[in-house]
Chains A and B, each alone.
Chain A
Amino acid sequence: MEQFNKKNKMYNLYIDEKEYLNYEQDKKVSIGNTEISEKLLIDLFMREDYYLYTERILNDEFPELNIKNTKDNGVVGVIRLTKKNIYDALKLLKESSTISFNEKLMTIFNKLENSITYESFKEKYKDTIFQTRIDGKIYSVPFNTIIYYMEMNYSKLEAIFTNRSVKNIANMPKEYFVYMIYLFFLRNKIFDNYLIPYEMKIKKQALENQKLVDFESLNTFEQTLDINVSKVVINDELREYVLSQMPNDLNNLEKAIYIYIKLCRILTYDEEFYAFGQKGKVAVKHENLKHVSEISPSNNSVVCYEFNAIYGKFLSELGINFETEQSFVMDFGGSHAYLNFRCGKYLVRADSVTSIFFGDLVASKFGDSLDGLVCFNKNRHTQKEFTDIVDDVYEIVLREEKIDEFNSAIESLKLLCDIPFMSIEEKFSLLIKKVKKKGLFNMDILGNLIKNYKTIFSLSEQKKNVKLSLVRLTDNINEERDRILSVVFTINYIDYNNNEDNFYYLLETDGTCMEIDKNELQRRFVENEYFMVSDVYEIPGINLKGVTR
């Protein structure tokens, strides 16, 4: 029985269980991650009923042959083979003289060898046009254009793809074009069926990792998969609180972030629900969708899925599709839910209760950093952009919320006092004075230093003028310890992100702080005297690519 699975472009050969088991137990040829039974390989060529299938794979009619074991009308095992798998296996058998190649097999082998070359790949596709649907619209690109870019040397390709001023390629947005190249190779299983030059594999890998261009969000979240969204009613007072001060000039992503932060600041986790382990009368209340419409600034206890219901409703009003995810975390005494959504190129997870005690429902009320809004794109540049947008929107919310007594008292005090000007240098000296007072530092003092750094420097100064980066140093004094933690400060009076005129200071373990030359600092990383702790602690202007972590 044969069947072509159109969706997956696979060609299926169904065999019975006895035959399948024979192949499973037979001696195997190993090629990469695939193991093929020697007998199956011979049968694919020598048994006429099998060869009908093999021939169609060899003729490139289908990119993959699936040999399926059927039992009781169901599939219970699959052996997947591409043309190149078959070639590699045959080559191994030929070289090891495991089987003798008769004339028929030799002819097939030679034909196979010719058909998997890079030239034959180009010949096969040369006049074709690759077509696919991206976010609901059909796009086409000729194979010749695809191969023109993929044959470019890597640095030239990287320069074009990462150039922000290049917006369109082949009459479509650059991201779409790169996505189409990726899909062309993936869907046609080119790397599984042809001998492709190593250079091209590197490029394919870079595309796959979204390293050059971020196309990860394309064709995702095409609809909202939540049946309750239309039934959710947001309380009028809550809506008023969330939206009344929202600036008009925010874009959709900024609005989504703004609403999330405002909800976190006004809603609170239902401690009774937590205390009773999500059971009993209190749980019943939270299972009722009607209760969601009663959640207001004065009746503000929620659980994670109520937060999601409200936030999801706001997202759908912004035209943003989302999905609700469930996970099991013991800390919550049961199931935990959060939302994933896509806004433009950003793939976002919104989880206001990453922790009952430290999640954003708590942190946002104190102006502490948020950890529930996460961009899960692979591209690091996209992640960084997203974090910056969250920080900016957070500042907007914090600035506008001067409603509580403490903040209004601070604001009023500013009008009655002469507020002194403090330069970056003065603030930095103050921080270092604090460290010196503590003397030799350990983990506790390091934690305290980070806290003080955040207190002394405003968010904007932290982002532009003074960066604190944790580093590991080789411990030359204490032989029992391999590495110790220390801190490098990057200082720039304008913007350290431009990497021009940055000053670097190294905090010694005795609490003293020494300026260090940029080249010297770079050398210490290259020569493994210093090690990176994590990407969060990148040092602006210092190239840490490839350094040991």
Chain B
Amino acid sequence: MILNKLRSINDSLIMLNKDNDKELEKQKLIKKILNRDDCFLRMDVEVAFALLASLQIKKDLIEDVYLELID
């Protein structure tokens, strides 16, 4: 399930950014959001794209990943 993959990436980024307060705060917020299984159905598409970019999804893959998430 693609959402679980995103959750793993998010966990890794939290670990990696322990010393980067700003990025850590962002990733912790993303963790709260990803807790909900239907999170991508409940946010604006613009926010979803920004969130995926924050999870370091490549720019040319973001559309496809998003479309799979709202399936």
Contacts and interface: CB of A to CB of B under 8 A. Distances in A.
Interface stretch (B3-11, B12-20, B43-51): B43-51
A430 B29 contact: no
Contacts of A418: 50
Contacts of A451: 41, 70
A409 B46 contact: no
Nearest to A454: B41
A433 B67 contact: yes
Contact of A406 (B36, B53, B66): B36
Interface string B35-69: 11001111111110111011000000001001100
Contact of B33 (A406, A416, A427): A406
A413 B51 contact: yes
- The binding surface of chain B is classed by DSSP as helix
B58 to A, nearest CB: 15
A430 B63 contact: yes
Contacts of A417: 26, 47, 50-51, 53-54
Interface residues of B, number: 28
B36 A413 contact: no
Contacts of A366: 42
B32 to A, nearest CB: 4
Contacts of B71: 448
Interface in A445-482: 448, 451-452, 455-456, 458
B9 to A, nearest CB: 16
A520 B20 CA distance: 59
Given A406-B36, A410-B33, A434-B67, A421 B46 contact: yes
A70 B67 CA distance: 75
A35 B67 CA distance: 67
A410 B50 CA distance: 11
Interface string A417-443: 111111000010010011001000000
A458 B45 CA distance: 9
Contacts of A406: 32-33, 35-36, 39, 42
Contacts of B26: 413, 416-417
Nearest to B25: A416
A420 B46 CA distance: 6
Contacts of A405: 32
A414 to B, nearest CB: 6
B33 A409 contact: yes
Contacts of A420: 46, 49-50
A430 B42 contact: no
A247 interface: no
A367 interface: yes
Interface in A174-195: none
Nearest to B31: A409
A223 interface: no
B15 to A, nearest CB: 19
Interface centre among A366, A413, A422, A427 (most CB of B within 10 A): A413
B70 A452 contact: yes
A33 interface: no
Given A406-B39, A430-B67, A433-B63, A413 B33 contact: yes
Nearest to A434: B67
Contacts of A416: 22, 25-26, 29
B45 A409 contact: no
Contacts of A430: 45, 63, 66-67
In the A-B complex, the 7 residue pairs with the closest CB atoms: A417-B50, A409-B32, A416-B26, A409-B29, A413-B29, A434-B67, A419-B50
15 contacts: A406-B35, A406-B36, A409-B30, A409-B33, A410-B47, A413-B26, A413-B33, A416-B25, A418-B50, A420-B46, A420-B49, A422-B45, A433-B63, A434-B70, A437-B67
Interface of B: 22, 25-26, 29-30, 32-33, 35-36, 39-47, 49-51, 53-54, 63, 66-67, 70-71
Given A417-B26, A422-B45, 18 more contacts: A367-B42, A406-B35, A406-B39, A409-B32, A410-B33, A410-B43, A414-B47, A414-B50, A416-B25, A416-B26, A419-B50, A420-B50, A421-B46, A422-B46, A422-B49, A430-B45, A448-B71, A455-B45
